[in-house]
Amino acid sequence: MAEDVAGPAPRAKAAAATGSDEPATVSMLNREVVTLRMRLGGLTPQMRVQRVAERMRKMPGSAANDPLNITPVTLDGRNGMQFMLGDNLLFVLMEDDVDVESQQSFKALVKTTQTRLEEVRTAYHALRDGGLLLRGGLRSGGATLVLALLIWVTYRVSRRLVLWMEDKRDLVAARFAYIDMREFLARIAVASVRLVQWFVLLTLAYFWIYFVLGSFLATAPIAQLMGDWLWHKLIWLASGVLSSLPGLITVAIVLVLTRATVDGLGYFFDAVQKDRVRLPWFHRETATATRRIFSLIVWALGLAIAYPFLPGSSSEAFKGVSVLLGLMLTFGSTGLITQAMSGLVVVYSRSLHKGDFVDINGVQGVVTEVAALATKIVNLRNEEITIPNSVLIAHPIHNYSKLAGTQGALLTTRVTIGYDAPWRQVHELLIAAARKTPGVRNPPEPYVYQRALSDFYVEYELFVSIDKPLERVPILSALHASIQDGFNEHGVQIMSPHFFAQPDQPVLVPKAGWYGSPAQLP
């Protein structure tokens, strides 16, 4: 028989390298004929298969028409059967070649081997049958046309569906300024349709290959292997899904209970934040942070409980990912943990919260965000300044809004007036200037304290209340202007800067000169 019958030569399917006593299989034209298991005449099963290949290559093509003869033989004191095509020896099958675990008899093995050799002979003749080859080619051509049509239909349908879904997604995105859940679901749907498109195309290609290989007798065993492989994979997936159902149901129950617990905690802390519930250990300022901490703990416990029930949780892949995440957290979270702990100190010390006007290490502004890692402040020049929480707790925090309550934030300024000015008059002038200043609250009434009796002057401090801490500097500037106008109008001299000697004339601006060029009348 010619070399193409062996196709191109019998293959040794062994678990070990050539030279071992592992079983080896004789295959012809993509068909397994028999598996050799014993060492014969010093030849391993792999070497015996190689001998079969050599004999097949040396056979003439006309040997395929010779009858298949099976005769008994005794070698090395063992009984067996030799298979021959006419006068040409193919191989010898011994009783020890029987698979003991299969409990198959030697007679049945010989019969099965004979049947497979006849199938190989039939396939060999089919390779030279023009009619069979033509029918196989026509079937393959028809299958190719059907494949092209189905690919075109799949592409057109999926393309139109994707374009329609993208239009709907863009409409949803344009309707909302923020990310809406419907837009998120639309994006997932578009990506899913594209994945389904590729899955359908790959499925069509797989079945086309299966059909084309099955159209020719020589390649039909490959098609059968493809079909068996697909069937076993489907059974494997189905059994995997069925065996995973109890674990998935347990995971779903755990996650639902976890979510319910988190929602209950959220309702409780929301009531604390709105002063609907008052408890000694909970404060409205720390309710949000405490809710996040408790939610994180509950979710961590829920995931820890659900993890063992996840399919594949005990596999090496899951273990490797767990180790990798642990290493990443260990080596990369030192600074992160420091900032997070500092953030907890800031939150639970209740030193500031969003909307407070503060002064931190010389930075004045309104707090816009108190996050876990940093605090953001907008200063008077409308600049956003980010201060890490570890830096924040290392410096004093001056909170001008914390104790304001319903009275507003306090604003103060100091002036020094000589002893020749009556202190009652100075008090009234300062209070009158405060009442004329825009942005100063009334009530509460402004008030004045005499802070010091210095060598040359008395130091007065004016206290006023304001509603907008962010406008602290503009209001203070307007207050200073009102104070200067009031003191100049009533001829009271402000003793700053200091004098080494009292001038002959009071150091003040007469009312007639208040609006000197380029100043304009109000």
Q: Using CA atoms, how far apart are residues 236 and 149, in angstroms rounded to an integer?
A: 32
Is it the case that residue 393 has pLDDT exceeding 90? no
Instruction: Kindly list the domain boundaries of the chain, sorted by start residue.
Output: 3-127, 130-218, 253-332, 345-399, 405-498
One of 2.30.30.60, 1.10.150.120, 3.10.105.10, 3.30.930.10 is the CATH number of 345-399, namely 2.30.30.60
What per-residue confidence (pLDDT) applies to 149? 92
* Confidence band for 281, pLDDT divided at 50, 70 and 90: low
Q: What is the pLDDT of residues 4-28, one digit of tens each?
A: 444 444 444 443 344 467 888 888 7
Buried b (16+ CB within 10 A) or exposed e, 322-353: eeeeeeeeeeeeeeeeebeebbbebbeeebbb
Q: What is the DSSP string of 112-178?
A: HHHHHHHHHHHHHHHHT-HHHHHHHHHHHHHHHHHHHHHHHHHHHHHHHHHHHHHHHHHHHHHH-SS
Q: Using CA atoms, how far apart are residues 485 and 479, in angstroms rounded to an integer?
A: 10
Q: Using CA atoms, how far apart are residues 45 and 37, in angstroms rounded to an integer?
A: 6
Of 221, 211, 216, 207, nearest in space to 11 by CA: 221
Residue type present at position 329: L
* Confidence band for 210, pLDDT divided at 50, 70 and 90: confident
Q: What is the pLDDT of residues 437-459, one digit of tens each?
A: 998 988 888 999 999 988 878 89
Is it the case that residue 132 has pLDDT exceeding 80? no
Q: Using CA atoms, how far apart are residues 291 and 284, in angstroms rounded to an integer?
A: 11
Average pLDDT score over residue span 366-385: 81
What per-residue confidence (pLDDT) applies to 513? 66
Tell me the percentage of the chain whose pLDDT exceeds 90: 9
Find where tokens 């949780």 sit: 313
Q: What is the pLDDT of residues 47-76, one digit of tens each?
A: 888 888 888 787 776 677 778 888 888 887
Is it the case that residue 279 has pLDDT exceeding 90? no
By the 8 A CB rule, do 282 and 268 touch? no
Could you tell me which residues come within 8 angstroms of residue 191 by beta carbon, excluding any fewer than 6 positions away? none
Domains 345-399 and 405-498 share a fold: no
Question: Is pLDDT larger for residue 464 or for residue 118?
Answer: 464
What per-residue confidence (pLDDT) applies to 318? 66
Which of 120-129, 287-296, 306-315 is most confident? 287-296
* Confidence band for 356, pLDDT divided at 50, 70 and 90: confident
Mean model confidence pLDDT for the chain: 79
CATH no. of 405-498: 3.30.70.100
* Confidence band for 3, pLDDT divided at 50, 70 and 90: very low
